């Protein structure tokens, strides 16, 4: 298969569609973020990349806390809105009719309509160039009761989605089951 060289590209798939929350000057604000993921298991941590000129950045700097809210497909319009507008100009929580609440940290705003909410305390910050990478220790996890099955998160109820920058900026739902992890490898029938 012929390979084409493209130079350095941010082509890591999939990128999540996340709503990052922070209190800015004491008021809740949310932005859409796709550059992020889990950074550590014990203790649970996330890594979230944010440009320093973003309004949310100001809030994270003020409080050293932020939230990660996982929107469901039902919130795709609101997520998009939070990605294209600035909290410096509009009250996004109000515009999107988010029910905002606070948890353990007291100043990391959480969106009730998002099925999962992670409260994070900044543990490290790396200035990488265009973005600052915030490594946040997850201090508490909130999940909507109706998104649990047998006490565990159920993706069929949660319905998170993906942000796809290229070719032309799309949001995609999760798709079909393609295999059971730590199990489907057996079909390879490798002789060791």
Q: Which of residues 117-156 bind a second copy (CB under 8 A)?
A: 117-118, 123-124, 126, 128-131, 133, 135, 137-146, 148-150, 152-155
Of 8 and 26, CB closest to a second copy: 8
Tell me the torsion sign for CA atoms 165, 132, 81, 142: positive
Decide: is 43 part of the binding site for a second copy (CB under 8 A): yes
Question: Angle 94-95-101 (CA atoms, 0-180°, nearest 5)?
Answer: 35
Q: What are phi and psi of 19, to 5 degrees?
A: -110, 115
Residue 9 in the binding site for a second copy (CB under 8 A): yes
- CB-CB neighbours of 116 under 10 Å: 18
Select from 44, 64, 102, 122 the one that contacts a second copy (CB under 8 A).
44
Binder of a second copy out of 25, 27, 40, 53 (CB under 8 A)? 40
User: Which residue lies nearer to a second copy by CB, 24 or 158?
Assistant: 158
- Report phi then psi at 87, rounded to 5: -65, -15
Interface stretch with a second copy, choices 20-28, 29-37, 54-62 (CB under 8 A): 29-37
Closest listed residue to residue 111, CA positions, set 31, 173, 21: 21
Does residue 53 touch a second copy according to CB under 8 A? no
């Amino acid at each position: 298969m012929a390979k084409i060289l493209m130079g350095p590209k941010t082509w890591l798939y999939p990128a999540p569609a996340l709503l990052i929350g922070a209190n800015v000057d004491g008021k809740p604000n949310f932005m859409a973020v796709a550059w992020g993921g889990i950074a550590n298991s014990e203790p649970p941590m996330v890594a979230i990349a944010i440009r320093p000129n973003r309004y949310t950045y100001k809030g994270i700097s003020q409080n050293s806390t932020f939230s990660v809210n996982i929107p469901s497909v039902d919130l795709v319009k609101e997520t998009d809105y939070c990605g294209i507008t600035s909290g410096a100009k509009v009250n996004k929580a109000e515009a999107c009719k988010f029910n905002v609440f606070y948890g353990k940290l007291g100043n990391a705003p959480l969106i009730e309509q998002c099925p999962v909410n992670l409260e994070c305390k900044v543990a490290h910050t790396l200035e990488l160039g265009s973005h600052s990478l915030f490594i946040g220790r997850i201090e508490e996890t909130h999940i909507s009761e109706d998104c649990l099955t047998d006490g565990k998160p159920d993706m069929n109820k949660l319905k998170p989605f993906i942000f796809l920058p290229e070719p032309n900026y799309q949001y995609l739902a999760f798709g079909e089951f393609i295999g059971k992890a730590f199990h489907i490898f057996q079909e390879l029938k490798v002789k060791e």
